[in-house]
Structure 1
Amino acid sequence: MGLRQQLDREYEQLRAAQIDRARSSPTPAQWQSLVDRYRGASRDHPDVDATRGLARALWRLSMTLHAAGDPTGALGPGRQGVAEFDTAFRRTLDWNADEQSPAVDAVLAELLVARCDLAEAAAAAGKPVERIRILEGAREIGTSITAGPRSLRALGTVYHNLSIAELHRLMESTRQGSFDVDLRAPALSASRAVETRLKAVTPAEPLSIWELANTYIQYLRCLGIAEEPEVAVRVTEQAAKLVALHSKGPLADLRPQLTAAVAMLCIAYPTHARRLGRALRSARPRRPWRRRGI
């Protein structure tokens, strides 16, 4: 087994431990050690696989530092990881005529998700401007080519997270008495997130359905400011239908958030309150089928 294969194997072992709650999560020192060895391998053999391996290790190091309560410390390796992913993406794209090839799709999806994670670290570190800049960059990269299935789902996350960041910026500006922020920007990003996630949703993948429902709720939060009551009624209907697909589980757990968002809309649009309430109640959780006694 060559050095690259050994590093890739160790990466997968650490990654598996990081996502398995029953196991001890890797420490920042373990990820830093892997980063250093990937960096050496990348210097010796500067190909796209080495670059991508280094990017992944830096990304995981950043995530580990953030999870450990050090978002500021996570920014350095996070930025480096994004830069390495960007290089890997450009090289992979140069070598593939098909923009939707699995190779391009995989590295673009990783780049977009890494940018989303870096943006969250920036937010936690008190850098809201950098947070939005990172997500806007992800949006530009994600729409620069025709996205494949993995990168399409990642692009939906980019739009969703950008909407949250823009709404936070708008609320902060309002608190400070500044009104030079576009009121429609959060709703526009949420709308694009819905559009993207509708394309990416797969009935066989429950998480994709949850993601769509979650974005509908974020869209509703934004519509309370965008002065779009008719759109709010239609989106409430769609969100209620999705949340009602299951009486238990992650989808059903979104119902309190949906109810809270609609309550806010009823205050914002009192003349539409009755229609919003009907839209919310139009879909009820399905009850398990039972055979009737004879």
Structure 2
Amino acid sequence: MSPDEREELFEQAVSLSADRRTWSDADRLWTRVVSAYEAAIETSARVDRNDERQLARALWRHASLLAMLGRADEAVASGRQAVTWFRRIHDAVTAEGTTPRRDEALGALLTALADLAGFEFNAGRPAARLDLLRQAAELGIAEVANPLTAGPHTKKAMGFIYHNFAAALLEGDHDHDDVVEASLMASLAVEIRLGDLNAANPNSAWELANTYVVFARSLAAMNDRSRLEMLVPLAENLLDFLGPSAAALREELHAAAAPPELPKIPETFSTPPPPQRRWWRR
């Protein structure tokens, strides 16, 4: 199969994956795409970085489709293969030292790790999700000291990782340290996504709004009412901009911002005792 034929097959699979009615066709086609790129890489006399990248992307997209089809374990298997290839590409590009390509390769690897964390969670392994998100966060910091000044691909991926990491830490059983870490992760995600807010890209507003809600939940869990009270108006303004479609997020925000309920008064003290009669009133 020629390079152009492989590219055409890839784009057909992308198109079929965009429509729920053709997901089954897309599933079968992604298998063909993966096989085509694997065969091209195995038979090539030299390294073709584009074929490697396309194989990684095909595995990653197929994993996402498998997750939507409810085939969690298959999604994990494909997601792990994708991460392996994205890591191989990242390591090779890093050795070459080309900054724009390093940013793109690192962003793709970090995103694939974060998505694999979601696939692991869907397969019933929440601990694996946390481990992968922590690995991704640590890798990002090891590669770029300050995510806020990283390249666009890496920066966006780090915002995605920090958001998901904070949300994961707040779920299930968590202690005070988890809540503090979630607050830090959510705060970093807010900074990144606030810097990337762009009126020409409506999705950027949705990403920031989601992170505002996660940050609010973490502050409420810490009982940090002062910072929470500063955050809520900012979040509400953004949700107003998004309109009625953001109603579910608005409910989550209000639930997080609601003051804690006072303990109920015991039944024995629910009604006042009758007045005592005094002897001088007889």
Post-superposition Cα deviations, 1:120-174, rounded to whole Å, max 9, x if no partner, equal 1111111011111111222223331353223322221111111111111xx324x
Identity, in percent, stands at 30
Flag the 1:262–1:123 CA change in 2: closer, same or farther, 3 A. Answer: same
Residue 224 of structure 1 contacts residue 268 of structure 1 at CA under 8 Å; is this kept in 2? no
Post-superposition Cα deviations, 1:31-52, rounded to whole Å, max 9, x if no partner, equal 2222122112122333322221
Residue 214 of structure 1 contacts residue 254 of structure 1 at CA under 8 Å; is this kept in 2? no
Partner of 1:122: 120
The one-letter code of the counterpart of 2:204 is: S
CA distance in 2, matches of 1:269, 1:96: 56
Pairwise CA distance, 1:79: 0.5
CA distance in 1, matches of 2:41, 2:124: 33
Partner of 2:49: 48
The one-letter code of the counterpart of 1:195 is: E
Match of residue 136, structure 1, among 134, 137, 141: 134
Pairwise CA distance, 1:240: 0.9
More helix by share: 2
The one-letter code of the counterpart of 1:71 is: A
CA distance in 1, matches of 2:155, 2:25: 30
Partner of 2:87: 86
CA distance in 1, matches of 2:110, 2:122: 19
The gaps in structure 1 that reach 5 residues or longer are: 174-178, 271-294
List aligned pairs for 1:56-67, cutoff 5 A. Answer: 56-67=57-68
Residue 198 of structure 2 contacts residue 204 of structure 2 at CA under 8 Å; is this kept in 1? yes
TM-score calculated relative to the size of structure 2? 0.81
The one-letter code of the counterpart of 1:75 is: V
Pairwise CA distance, 1:233: 0.8
Post-superposition Cα deviations, 1:171-214, rounded to whole Å, max 9, x if no partner, equal 324xxxxx475331211111111011112222211111111111
Pairwise CA distance, 1:76: 1.1
2:151 is aligned with 1:151:
no
Residue 17 of structure 2 contacts residue 26 of structure 2 at CA under 8 Å; is this kept in 1? no
Partner of 2:163: 160
The one-letter code of the counterpart of 1:70 is: R
Partner of 2:4: 5
The gaps in structure 2 that reach 5 residues or longer are: 263-282
CA distance in 2, matches of 1:246, 1:131: 30
The one-letter code of the counterpart of 1:268 is: P
CA distance in 1, matches of 2:167, 2:189: 11
Pairwise CA distance, 1:239: 0.4
The one-letter code of the counterpart of 1:38 is: Y
CA distance in 2, matches of 1:245, 1:260: 17
Pairwise CA distance, 1:268: 3.0
CA distance in 1, matches of 2:185, 2:232: 17
SS in structure 2 of the partner of residue 202 of structure 1: coil
Pairwise CA distance, 1:255: 3.6
Larger Rg: 1 or 2? 2
Pairwise CA distance, 1:215: 0.6
CA distance in 1, matches of 2:219, 2:32: 47
CA distance in 1, matches of 2:91, 2:201: 29
